[in-house]
Structure 1
Amino acid sequence: MKNIFSILKFTLFIVVLFAIIYPMAIFGIAQFAPNKGKGETISVNGKVVGYQKIGQKFDKSNYFWGRPSAVDYNAAGSGGSNKGPSNADYLALVQKRIDTFLIVHPYLKKGAIPSDMVTASGSGLDPNISPEGALIQVKRVATARKLSEDKVKALVETKINKPSLIGTATVNVLELNVALDALK
């Protein structure tokens, strides 16, 4: 009986610690973060159009496309497919994405498609693509919007985020598309 009472006290302590104290501490710390821990939003005319760190689905030809998502861009169900590069289903899915990309971008060869345009990220919510992934879409987007390719390419180049010390350059797709909508 003495052990049961000790175990119950310990359980109650753990519940209070991890269900009340820890979440309140994290909430308090978040109040010092940008936007009070509610995420970094992107707004247009005072209306939130998305989150800077969460990928969104763009599939119309007049917008730049982001990385494919294994979870259809559902932030509540973030995750990858967990299929390796030797999995037949995964290889078929990647080939389908390549075929679709080539249909919409007939001026490209298969080898010119950056891998990030046909493979999903580990979270399924990557908001960024490579500069190469953005630049190969310039012709399609410019044609769909009846803009010059040079103007759209120049916009892409202004949206390339270079790494501070290490890493690779990226382009945030939502930021790029918001800037694209602002072009006259």
Structure 2
Amino acid sequence: MSQLRPALVLLAFLTLLTGGAYPLLTTLIGQWWFPWQAGGSLLTLNGETRGSALLGQAFTGRDYFHSRPSATAGTPYNALASGGSNLSVASPALTAQIAARARTLQAQDPHAAGPIPVDLLTASASGLDNGVSPAAIAWQLPDVARARGLTEQQLQTLVDRNTVHPWPEFLGPTYVNVTQLNMALSTLPRR
């Protein structure tokens, strides 16, 4: 019995410390130093929340850039069902999905030059990626420019503003945040 009391006191102390004080402290520090990120990195347009800069969205029109395909269950970019397809590279189902995506992209833009970048054909591990490579944007840029009635140079300026260059470089490759890019496109007047 003499050993039970110190064990219960230590259990209660560590529970309060690691289950209460530490999470509260890290939450407060995160909200103080990184308020936008801690708040969900929400994107608003005309006072209405339209999404998060951290999550991809399904854009289907020719006048918007397309993100990586999503393999989430139910609906594309379903944050409640984050996860990949778990299909192996040798899977016939994955090969069929990639071929179908390639046919769809080529049908949407028969004028596109060069091979389709791989990140427009394959889903990410989370199914929620918000970015694609600059090559994937460059492949789509002429079609989006035609659909919007803009020059490629005008559109490239917008792309450059939404390109993320991780620093230091070993943190990841340069990518274009498609969610933010398409939100910026939504603010442009239609021609």
Q: TM-score, normalised by structure 1?
A: 0.82
Bigger drift between 114-123 and 19-28 goes to: 19-28
Q: Does 1:75 align with 2:79?
A: yes
Rounded to whole Å, the distance in 2 between the matches of 1:106 and 1:36 is 39
Q: Does 1:120 align with 2:123?
A: yes
Where 1:49 maps in the other structure, the secondary structure is strand
Shift of 1:95: 0.9
Pick closer, same or farther for the CA change 1:88–1:9 going to 2, 3 Å. Answer: farther
2:186 is aligned with what amino acid?
Answer: D
Aligned to 2:96: 92
Where 1:76 maps in the other structure, the secondary structure is helix
Aligned to 1:3: none
Rounded to whole Å, the distance in 1 between the matches of 2:19 and 2:141 is 49
% identical aligned pairs: 37
Where 2:44 maps in the other structure, the secondary structure is strand
Structure 2 unaligned residues grouped into runs of 5+: 1-7
Shift of 1:92: 0.7
Where 1:171 maps in the other structure, the secondary structure is strand
Pick closer, same or farther for the CA change 1:89–1:35 going to 2, 3 Å. Answer: same
Where 2:68 maps in the other structure, the secondary structure is coil
Contact residue 128 and residue 173 of structure 1 kept, 8 A = yes
Contact residue 128 and residue 172 of structure 1 kept, 8 A = yes
Q: How many residues align?
A: 183
Contact residue 142 and residue 148 of structure 1 kept, 8 A = yes
Where 1:55 maps in the other structure, the secondary structure is coil
Where 1:42 maps in the other structure, the secondary structure is strand
Bigger drift between 99-108 and 115-124 goes to: 99-108
Contact residue 135 and residue 156 of structure 1 kept, 8 A = no
Kindly report the root-mean-square deviation, in angstroms, between the aligned alpha carbons of the 2 structures: 2.8
Aligned to 1:5: none
Shift of 1:163: 2.7
Shift of 1:78: 0.7
Aligned to 1:168: 173
Aligned to 1:155: 158
Instruction: Report Cα offsets for 1:64-94 as digits up to 9, x if no partner.
Output: 1111000110111111011111111011101
Aligned to 1:181: 186
2:78 is aligned with what amino acid?
Answer: N
Rounded to whole Å, the distance in 2 between the matches of 1:11 and 1:86 is 50
Contact residue 162 and residue 176 of structure 2 kept, 8 A = yes
Shift of 1:15: 8.0
Aligned to 2:64: 63
Rounded to whole Å, the distance in 2 between the matches of 1:55 and 1:130 is 14
Q: Does 1:106 align with 2:106?
A: no
Where 1:54 maps in the other structure, the secondary structure is coil
Aligned to 1:31: 31
